[in-house]
Amino acid sequence: MTARVLVVDDILSNVKLLEAKLTAEYFEVITAFNGEQALARVAAELPDIILLDVMMPGMDGFEVCRRIKSNPATAHIPVVMVTALDQPSDRVTGLEAGADDFLTKPVDDFSLFARVRSLVRLKMMTDELRMREETGQSMGLVDAGQTLIEPDPSGRVLIVEDRPEAVAWFRAGLEPKNVVEEVNTFDEALIRTRGGDFDLIVVSLGIKEFDSLRLCSHMRSIAEARNVPILVLVSESETRKLAQALDMGVNDYLMRPVDRNELLARVRTQLRKKHYADRLRHNVQLSLEMAITDQLTGLHNRRYMSRHLDTLMKGAVASGKPLSFLVMDIDFFKSVNDTHGHDIGDEVLREFANRISQNVRGIDLACRFGGEEFVVVMPDTDIGFAYNIAERLRMQVESDPFKISRAPGQLKVTVSIGMASSTGAADTAESLLHRADQALYRAKREGRNRVIAEAA
């Protein structure tokens, strides 16, 4: 794995040492020698990870980290504080400033590469979501996601620990702000993970009855837990085990004995990241839905239908089963807009779309084709069955007036429907749609409020 690493330190020899180590492992390294220069390089280069010295003249590393993490454009970049300070209070200060981890000078190569690779891997997952969200924003489909900085997050936390006194200690630190649940067996942990909808899982690597690393590996393979951060508890003698945990996708760790303030700081950091990633995924899903959905009616749009017609036709030819099209148009819809206004016209369109949805099957593809024209594609459906569905819809529209929000309170609406069904391998989506469209024109010429079928 390669990545762009920004090394920030006011001592040239420290910078050169880290640069040499990282370059030997095929990382791309950029450098800065003070806080202001670091912020400028971050803005210009957008590195994948930042190794940031704490003790620098002028602006110290804590302040640099705060500024990076308070900027929505850079808040997602992981920051590792590289420092000679090793007191829990120093780590808490850094974590509260937004730091993702600490490395103590002199930096151990094993710890350096394990942490850099782990954080870069996690960042790449977030970057993919950010790029997809930006695509949705550029298309005008979704608004920008909120910044990663959430002042006081809370969530549901699962503790996997076999020592009751340790569980009680965690509960005392995390409750009542967070909902805390506990398990102490391998199977129960997996069961709860699958159905628990947790925001964070804390796993002790010192459990005696089973292999906690194997549990973490299984959790990472469960779809419901794939995006849930895992924080492991390790002893100072378990650095190799920690490296394995980070390599398999564990997000963070706490060294025993655990400082309560550091626990709270790391939990807050992971909850912030989880909530941020959840918002990104929601926006990505929303943009996907909006790209294929007509926003007024909630039916699929013309773009979606066009992309799927050929596939549906090929399926019909391969299976030898018929495919039917309904093309329908609200009668005299222009007079609705002219008489009652476009807002009432929109209400009529929405209600008509609802009635289409009520009358078609789950396998049918219902779309708003444009204006007041709608199309339903019906796989595995012959012309006779399709006619019955179309006639049922026509009669429901005619017999049940549409409610509107202004006087007279309801409108009498009718619909004309043209239909066609595939006849063999020579049919194409375009020819079938054209024949159904011609049948619709015939329905209108013959007086509207009727269903006309045309087989060829």
Give me the active site residues, please.
372
Residue in 440, 447, 451 with CA at minimum distance from that of residue 386? 451
* Close Cβ partners of 119 (under 8 Å, ≥ 6 residues apart): 49, 78, 80, 100, 101
Residue 200 DSSP class: E
Handedness of CA 100, 250, 237, 208 (dihedral sign): positive
Q: Are strands 323-330 and 415-421 parallel, antiparallel or unpaired?
A: antiparallel
Q: Tell me the C-alpha to C-alpha distance, in Å, between residue 339 and each of 238, 344, 349, 401, 414.
A: 77, 9, 15, 17, 16
For residue 14, the SS3 value is helix
Q: Which of 332, 359, 358, 327 is nearest to 345 (CA)?
A: 332
Residue 223 C-beta-side C-alpha neighbours within 13 Å: 0
If 0-12 CB within 10 Å is exposed, 13-18 middle and 19+ buried, where does residue 456 land? exposed
Bridge partners of residue 212, in order along the sequence = none
Q: Are 290 and 116 in contact (CB under 8 A)?
A: no
Structure tokens, 161: 């620990």
Phi, psi (rounded to 5 degrees) for 291: -70, -25
Three-state SS at 204: strand
Instruction: State the DSSP string of 372-388.
Output: TEEEEEEET--HHHHHH
Q: Tokens 């099957």 — which residue?
A: 361
The whole-angstrom separation of Cα 452 and Cα 417 is: 6
Beta strands in 184-301 (DSSP E): 200-204, 230-234, 252-255
Torsion of CA 243, 247, 248, 254, to 10 degrees: 40
Distance (Å, rounded) from C-alpha 422 to C-alpha 432? 7
Q: How far apart are the first and last CA of the chain?
A: 59
Distance CA 129, CA 321 (A): 40
